[in-house]
Amino acid sequence: MLRASAIEQLATEASASGGRPASVESSASAGFIAPLHAHEADESIHVLEGRLRLYAGGKSVRMQAGDSYVVERGVAHTYRVESWHVRAVFTTFTRSAGRYESFLRAIGPVAPGAAWASAEDEATVTAIAAAAQTTVLGPPGTLPPGLEHGAHVA
């Protein structure tokens, strides 16, 4: 659940980053795995429908409809859709809401499973991420350090 302390944490992040809040609703199908990445600001994830597993830092968190989690800035994270479909709202503070939305949309078409479809896909997503104050740290399926070091989600 998103508690008052989490809301205060996000508000503090807004003033520290000089950014504005940006919320994007995103959907994905079973097996979708986001590339491993980290943001320059905290990111809140709120699941509206379905289930996903969030891998953030050294934690693995199962989330379902109604659950929220705040990933602190700079923490490597990814997620995998565990139900046939998931719908979630992602919120962060950024200088450009449009670029944040572009990043979330760019990772959406990546095929379920691990790795990039092509070197061009990797370069495109990495460039879009950089414009959104986000660093791509690994291809889809790469877990953060501390979770099965060097392993991939299948």
pTM, two decimals, is 0.82
Residues 44 and 7 sit within 8 Å (Cβ to Cβ): no
Note the pLDDT tens digit of each residue in 77-130: 999 999 999 999 999 988 888 888 888 888 875 555 557 878 898 899 999 999
**pLDDT at residue 4, rounded to an integer:** 52
Residues 95 and 14 sit within 8 Å (Cβ to Cβ): no
Quote helix, strand, coil % in the chain, to nearest 5. 25, 40, 35
Spell out the residues 6+ positions from residue 56 whose beta carbon is closer than 8 angstroms to its own: 69, 71, 75, 76, 77, 144
Does 139 have pLDDT greater than 50? yes
Spell out the residues 6+ positions from residue 89 whose beta carbon is closer than 8 angstroms to its own: 23, 24, 25, 26, 44, 45, 46, 48
pLDDT band at 135; cut points 50, 70, 90: very high
Tokens of 32: 């979708």
pLDDT band at 146; cut points 50, 70, 90: confident
E strand residue ranges, the chain: 20-29, 35-39, 43-49, 51-56, 59-64, 68-71, 77-81, 85-94, 134-140
Note the pLDDT tens digit of each residue in 54-70: 999 899 999 999 999 99
**pLDDT at residue 45, rounded to an integer:** 96
**In the CATH scheme, what is the homologous superfamily, with its name and number, of domain 4-140?**
Jelly Rolls (2.60.120.10)
Note the pLDDT tens digit of each residue in 9-48: 656 555 555 578 889 999 999 988 999 999 999 999 999 9
